[in-house]
Amino acid sequence: MVRDFALFYPPAIHFGSGCRFLAGELLRRVAGGQQPRTYVVCSRSVRAAGVLDELAGRIGISWCGIYDQVPHDPPLECVDALIEQLCLSSADAVLALGGGSVIDAAKAAAALAPTADGVRPFFEGQRLISRPGLPLVALPTTAGTGAEVTPNAVLSDRLKGAKRSIRSPFLVAAAALVDPDLTVSMPAELTAHSGLDALTQAVESYLSRQASAVSRPLAGAAVARLLPQLPRAYRDGQDLAARTQVAEGSLLAGMAFAQSGLGAVHGLAHPIGHALSLAHGLTCAVLLPHILRLNLPACRDELGALATSLGLEDAEALVDAIAALCVDLGVPDGFAAYRLAEADHAAIVANCRSGSMKVNPRSFSDTELLELLQRLS
C-alpha cells in the first residue's frame, strides 16, 4: 500500500433519499448566489420518466437548454456537440442527470466549454485541461460508475477505434448528489451491470498498487455493501433498503478508485467492450473472477484480509463468492456468446495497457493475455 495520495473530490457530496432536491441550492451556490443559467444533460429515459420535470418544479430553476442524446460510450463528436450547445446557450452551470455516459460526457463538455478546439487534442494527450470550465452538479440515476466523484471521463473515438479516459482535477464535479430514490426504476439487467461495475471498481481499488490509507477502507466498505445487497436489488427493484446500500456502495467505490486507480479488469474491459459493443459493467463482470484467480498469488494477503472483514474464510472463498454472484446475476463465464473472435485478440492486447493495467497487483505478458482471451472466446 502506498503512503502518498492526492484527493480530488467534489467540494460537496450528499448521499441519501431526497438529496436530489438540494440541486437548486447547490446550483445557486456555484453561480455565486445568482440564479444560474443551467444547462441540463440527461438520459432520454430519465427525461421521459418525468424526473427532470419533478426536479424543476421542486428546486425553482428553469433550464436554458436540455441535451438528451448522449449514447453509451460517448463519442468525441457528442462532447463537441455539447460544448457548442453550452456556448450557444450562454450557460453558466451544468446539471448532469443520468448514468455514467451522461455524466462523463457532461463533465468533459463542461470542463472544455471555454475552449473552441474540441475535445480531440485532450483525448489524444496533446493538451491538458489547464483551467476550470463551467461548474457541474452531478445526479447519478444508476448505481455503478462513480462518475459523479471521479476526476476523469471515459470517451470513445469512433474514427480510430479507441475508448479511454481523459483525466484532470478540472473534471471533478462541483457537487455530487447521490439519491438512491433515483435508482429504483432501473430495470434488473441495468441494476446487475451497473452494480457489478461498482463491485469490480471496489475490488480493483482495494487491490491496486496505488491503494492508500484513504482509498482502501472506502473500497472495503463498498464491497461490504455491494456483495450482499446486489442480489436483493436485482430481484426486487422496489427494495429501497437494498437500493440504498447498493447506491452507497457505488459512491464509496467511486471515491476509492478516484484515488487508487483500478486494475487489469478495467484495462481489458475497455478494448473488449469497444470490440464487441458490450455494456461496460457486463464486460467487467465476465472478466472479474478470471482476473482475480490470476491475481491471487500476487495479492493473497490483501484479498484474504478483505475476505475476513466480510466474514469469509479466505481469499479463495471471496473469489468464489464473487464468481457465484456473477452467475446469480446472469453473467456468462466468457465472451463466446458475444462472438469474441481470435481476430480481435491482438488489438485488445495492444490497447489494454492503460493506467488501470499499470496498477494491477501483478503484470501480464502479452502471451498470458492472449491465452486468457483464447479461454474466454
137 in helix, strand or coil?
A: strand
CA 239/CA 247 separation, integer angstroms: 12
Q: How far is the CB of 284 from Fe ion (least distance, A)?
A: 6
Residues binding Fe ion: number (CB under 5 A)? 1
Q: Cell 482495494 identifies what position?
A: 206
Q: Which of these ranges, 181-189, 197-205, 211-219, 346-354, lies near Fe ion under the rule CB under 5 A?
A: 197-205
Distance of CA 29 to the CA centre of its chain: 26
CA 95/CA 23 separation, integer angstroms: 8
Q: How far is the CB of 250 from Fe ion (least distance, A)?
A: 10
Nearer to Fe ion, 142 or 212 (CB): 142
Q: How far is the CB of 233 from Fe ion (least distance, A)?
A: 18
Nearer to Fe ion, 39 or 206 (CB): 206
CA 297/CA 244 separation, integer angstroms: 35
Q: Which of these ranges, 69-77, 191-199, 311-319, 356-364, lies near Fe ion under the rule CB under 5 A?
A: 191-199
Nearer to Fe ion, 40 or 233 (CB): 233
Cβ atoms of residues 176 and 138 within 8 Å: yes
Q: Is 204 in the site for Fe ion (CB under 5 A)?
A: no
Nearer to Fe ion, 197 or 302 (CB): 197
Q: How far is the CB of 22 from Fe ion (least distance, A)?
A: 26
CA 88/CA 96 separation, integer angstroms: 18
Nearer to Fe ion, 92 or 197 (CB): 197
Cβ atoms of residues 330 and 192 within 8 Å: yes
CB proximity list for 45: less than 8 A, separation 6 or greater: none
Which residues are 15's β-sheet partners? 178
354 in helix, strand or coil?
A: coil
Nearer to Fe ion, 97 or 203 (CB): 203
State which amino acid sits at residue 216: R
Nearer to Fe ion, 182 or 284 (CB): 284
Q: How far is the CB of 278 from Fe ion (least distance, A)?
A: 13
Q: How far is the CB of 232 from Fe ion (least distance, A)?
A: 22
CB proximity list for 269: less than 8 A, separation 6 or greater: 280, 283, 284, 287
Q: How far is the CB of 143 from Fe ion (least distance, A)?
A: 12
Nearer to Fe ion, 197 or 344 (CB): 197
Residue selected from 92, 104, 179, 197 as contacting Fe ion according to rule CB under 5 A = 197
Cβ atoms of residues 265 and 359 within 8 Å: no
Q: Which of these ranges, 101-109, 177-185, 189-197, 353-361, lies near Fe ion under the rule CB under 5 A?
A: 189-197
Return the residue nearest Fe ion (CB atom): 197
Q: How far is the CB of 281 from Fe ion (least distance, A)?
A: 7
Q: Which of these ranges, 89-97, 117-125, 195-203, 225-233, lies near Fe ion under the rule CB under 5 A?
A: 195-203
Cβ atoms of residues 205 and 258 within 8 Å: no
CA 222/CA 218 separation, integer angstroms: 6
**Interstrand relation of 136-140 and 93-98 (parallel, antiparallel or unpaired):** parallel
Nearer to Fe ion, 100 or 304 (CB): 100
Residues in contact with Fe ion by the rule CB under 5 A: 197
